[in-house]
A = this chain, B = another copy of it.
């Protein structure tokens, strides 16, 4: 099984982290991982197509947010919480608070009124 690449936490930029978190599906994955130690891709994909989810997991890994390891045929994912909190103190907390603060914040989109 091929090795899964992860950046060193010092090599990720704040721009990369913010970009990775600027997508509702990726935010949903991070929010789920925040509440658990580790989860399989299947447990996190919300029934979405594997191809698009692979992309989202790669963006999250490249931004230093998620660590993925092989376990048999499954991929197990964990948030790099402690490392991220050391590199960007308070950032993940503030983002996830923002997601939760407003009911439905995660799925909230601009209404037609705002266009």
Contacts and interface: CB of A to CB of B under 8 A. Distances in A.
A15 B11 contact: no
Interface in A79-115: 87-91, 93-95, 97-99, 101-102, 105, 108-111, 113-114
A18 B21 contact: yes
Query: In terms of DSSP, what is the predominant structure of the interface of chain A?
Result: helix
A97 to B, nearest CB: 7
Interface of A: 7-8, 11-19, 21-24, 27, 87-91, 93-95, 97-99, 101-102, 105, 108-111, 113-114
**A-B CB proximity, top 5 nearest:** A19-B22, A18-B22, A88-B98, A94-B94, A90-B94
